[in-house]
Structure 1
Amino acid sequence: MITYSIIIPVYNEEANLPEMYRRVVQVIEGLDGPAELVLIDDGSQDRSLAILDELHQRDPRVHYLSLARNFGHQIAVTAGLQYAQGEAVVIMDADLQDPPELLPQLIEKWRAGYHVVYAQRVSRAKESWFKKLMAYGFYRILNRFTDVTIPTDTGDFCLMSRQVVDILNSMPEKHRYIRGLRAWVGFPQTAVQFKRDPRFAGDVKYTFRKSLNLAIDGIISLSRKPLKIATYLGLITALVAIAMIILVLFWRIYNAPAQLIGYTLITIAIFFLGAVQLICLGILGEYIGRIYDEVKQRPLYTIKKAAGFDEISQS
């Protein structure tokens, strides 16, 4: 019976894997129960898969899945959740920004009765002021838009109980935002604060574009408030249009023709109405696109190779 599963998504992390393995093993050997490492190769193009295979041959606690292509971080984590067997499941990144040495503190909170123990950042080493500002604003805006409270300054680094993991695995949606879904599930949750280290080696994988897409996924998958905003924009636009009609009629009846009534006013109105329409269409398009993805019923991922699991199935 496995007590702890540690899920680590991997994408072009050949420079980090040996040190990550060393530090994780050093920690799990001091735990109060057997542990497994569930490593998910998300279509890496370097030697990451070969290193995972070497680690598996050396250590039977190391299991890995190799996805047939790059499906993205959240899908890789989802694959790990579906194959993890532990009573407590930890998610962490391979770049060692999530320190493995924090695991005993997460486990202590779980033993105290919490079903979700998330690691909350109090500082970010060697990150630009722009990235820190964007991260600060993102979590505050996210909580304004979503219907659940997502703890600020938290990532995917967390520990979840088997009960929570089973519920997450039962959710069929394609666009997954793990930190939002774990908040939606409920159950007692708490934080363990830590100082986030810089990457041990290699380049940052979460570019601004990927971070923006993840933010949109989080908002769209957890709330219908953007649709309400589109409705409010339509109402406001209608009120402005009515006010402009009244204003033009007033000028026509009580004043001589003015230059403002001509092309300038018409141009402003066209651009304003066009912008509002495009914004609303964009919001509707995001929701319709997700409906389109859901009704196709395609699997979340495909597996190229797997090692260390009793039964291999594609989900």
Structure 2
Amino acid sequence: MLSLVVPVFNEADGIREFIFAVDKAMSASWPEPQIAPRLEIIFVDDGSSDGTSTIVRTLRKGDARIKLLTLSRNFGKEAALSAGLDAATGDAAIPMDVDLQDPPEVIRPMVEKWLGGAKVVNARRCDRSADTMFKRSTSRLFYRTINMVADHKIADDVGDFRLLDRDAIEVLKQMTEHTRFNKGLFSWIGFTTETVEYVRPEREVGTSKWRTLKLLNLALDGIVSSTTLPLRIWTIIGALISLGAVAYAGFLLVYTLTQGADVPGYASIMITVLMLGGLNLLSLGLIGEYLGRVAIQVRGRPLYVVESREGF
């Protein structure tokens, strides 16, 4: 059985189209129903304010595959995806977006790779022409940056759309991070990984909920949760500046004893003070980013709160 995990937030217009597209793709991929995998479709309503839950409940009356997990408020897609994976009961799970930019036709190739022995099957976007130039550029910059500093590299142009074996899901359920960056977690768990490629289509329904600020926050969460290298870099910078300061102090002492004292220069003093002050503030801000996430973690609050479970 496959579990399709579909986080939704104000996506009432896209639910029916998504289920229709999944059924069409499954029928085309497995013409013989007796060999087709069974499905459970888990919609995770992440605090929607429209009729998303109502639409899912209506469709659920005539389709036992559909299940609904309603969160008590909007916790964000990363938490909603984690809630869906925690609730999944299939032999494998596939996170998908309801806007059909994750084409259901890719399910069959992923299942074949999985049956061939892979525990994780990534779906890589080989053509992102449907995205804007700004989104393509910033995405490329993000992947290059995080893979330069991350302890475990993440696959380029691979989003949440992938197949996860039950073994991989069980490991993910043990992870307690509250500042969640699922792409990094998917990379960290390891396992035998294969990749299928697909062309990312244009969005068919709804509008993107990812605004620039939210994407920047996600990128920052990804970097901070994937590595402690930025802290180590500032340790090295601080050590180099300290060594330079000691060397310069020794030079000034020798110069003053042998040549006498010069009139101090205002410009050089201000440049030094401003440079060191800026470095201090920057390093303190970076430490604050890590410390803030430590504070969130030690509070021990749940990653999400489930208001209702239907169909499980």
- Residue equivalent to 2:54: 50
Q: Deviations over 1:122-142 (max 9, x none)?
A: 121332222211111211211
- Which residue matches 2:238? 234
2:231 and 2:279 map into 1 onto residues whose CA distance is 13
Q: Secondary structure at the match of 1:194?
A: strand
| 1:160 equivalent in structure 2 | 164
Structure 1 position 9, deviation (Å): 0.5
| Deviates further, 202-211 or 84-93 | 202-211
Kindly indicate whether the alpha-carbon contact (under 8 Å) linking 1:233 and 1:276 is maintained by their aligned counterparts in 2. Answer: no
CA contact (8 A) 1:121 1:195 kept: yes
- Pair 1:217-2:215 in alignment: no
User: What is the CA-CA distance between 1:86 and the residue it aligns to?
Assistant: 0.3
Contact 2:99 2:205 in 1 (8 A): yes
Match of 1:5, as an amino acid? S
> C-alpha offsets along residues 98-142 of structure 1, whole Å, 9 cap, x if unaligned?
111111111111011000001111121332222211111211211
Q: Tell me the residue number matched to 1:189.
A: 193
Given that 1:124 and 1:196 are in contact with CA atoms closer than 8 Å, whether structure 2 keeps it comes out as: yes
Query: What secondary structure sits across from 2:172 in the alignment?
Result: helix
State the secondary structure of the residue aligned to 1:306: strand
Counterpart in the other structure of 1:116: 120
Are the equivalent residues in 2 in contact too, given 1:230–1:283 (CA < 8 A)?
no
1: CA distance, partners of 2:55 / 2:234: 49
Residue 33 (structure 2) aligns with: none
Structure 1 residue aligned with 2:6: 8
1:25 Cα deviation (Å)?
2.3
Q: Higher mean Cα deviation, 236-245 or 212-221?
A: 236-245
Task: Please state whether the residue corresponding to 1:16 is helix, strand or coil.
Answer: helix
* Per-residue deviation, 1:251: 7.7
Aligned residues: 305
Query: Structure 1 residue 264 and structure 2 residue 262: aligned?
Result: no
CA RMSD of aligned residues (A): 2.0
Matches of 1:249 and 1:203, distance apart in 2? 66
Q: Does 1:286 align with 2:289?
A: yes
Helix, strand or coil: the match of 2:183?
helix
The structure-2 alpha-carbon separation of the partners of 1:8 and 1:257, relative to structure 1 and needing over 3 Å to count, comes to same
Corresponding residue for residue 16 of structure 2: 18
Q: Which stretch shifts more, 25-34 or 174-183?
A: 25-34
String of CA shifts for 1:162-187, please: whole Å, max 9, x gaps.
Answer: 00001100111211221211211111
Give CA-to-partner distance per residue, 1:16-67, whole Å, 9 cap, x none: 2221121012234555221100110111122212111112122111001111
The letter for the 2-side match of 1:52 is V
In structure 2, distance between residues paired with 1:250 and 1:196: 67
Letter in 2 for 1:65: L
Distance in 2 between residues matched to 1:120 and 1:7, nearest whole Å: 18
Cα distance in 1 between the residues matched to 2:198 and 2:147: 22
Map Cα deviations across residues 254-299 of structure 1 (whole Å, 9 max, x no partner): 59856xx432222212221111112211221122112211211111
Distance in 1 (alpha carbons) for counterparts of 2:268 and 2:132: 44
Q: Using structure 2 for the length normalisation, give the TM-score.
A: 0.91
1:135 corresponds to:
139
Is the 1:66–1:305 Cα contact (8 Å) retained in structure 2? yes
SS in 2 for 1:300: coil
Looking at structure 1, the residues matched to 82 and 95 of structure 2 have their Cα atoms a distance apart, in angstroms, of 10
Report the 3-state secondary structure (helix = DSSP H, G, I; strand = E; otherwise coil) of the residue aligned with 2:298.
Answer: helix
User: Any runs of at least 4 consecutive aligned residues in structure 1 with deviations exceeding 4 A, and if so which?
Assistant: 242-258
- Name the CA shift for 1:247/1:200 in 2 (closer, same or farther; >3 Å): farther
8 Å contact from structure 1 (residues 118, 158) kept in 2: yes
State whether residues 130 and 200 of structure 2, in contact with CA within 8 Å, keep that contact through their aligned partners in structure 1: no
CA spacing shift, 1:246–1:300, aligned 2, 3 Å:
same
Contact 1:230/1:279, CA 8 A, preserved across alignment: no
Give CA-to-partner distance per residue, 1:71-100, whole Å, 9 cap, x none. Answer: 011100000001000001101111111111
SS in 1 for 2:61: helix
Rounded Cα–Cα distance in structure 2 between residues aligned with 1:158 and 1:276: 41
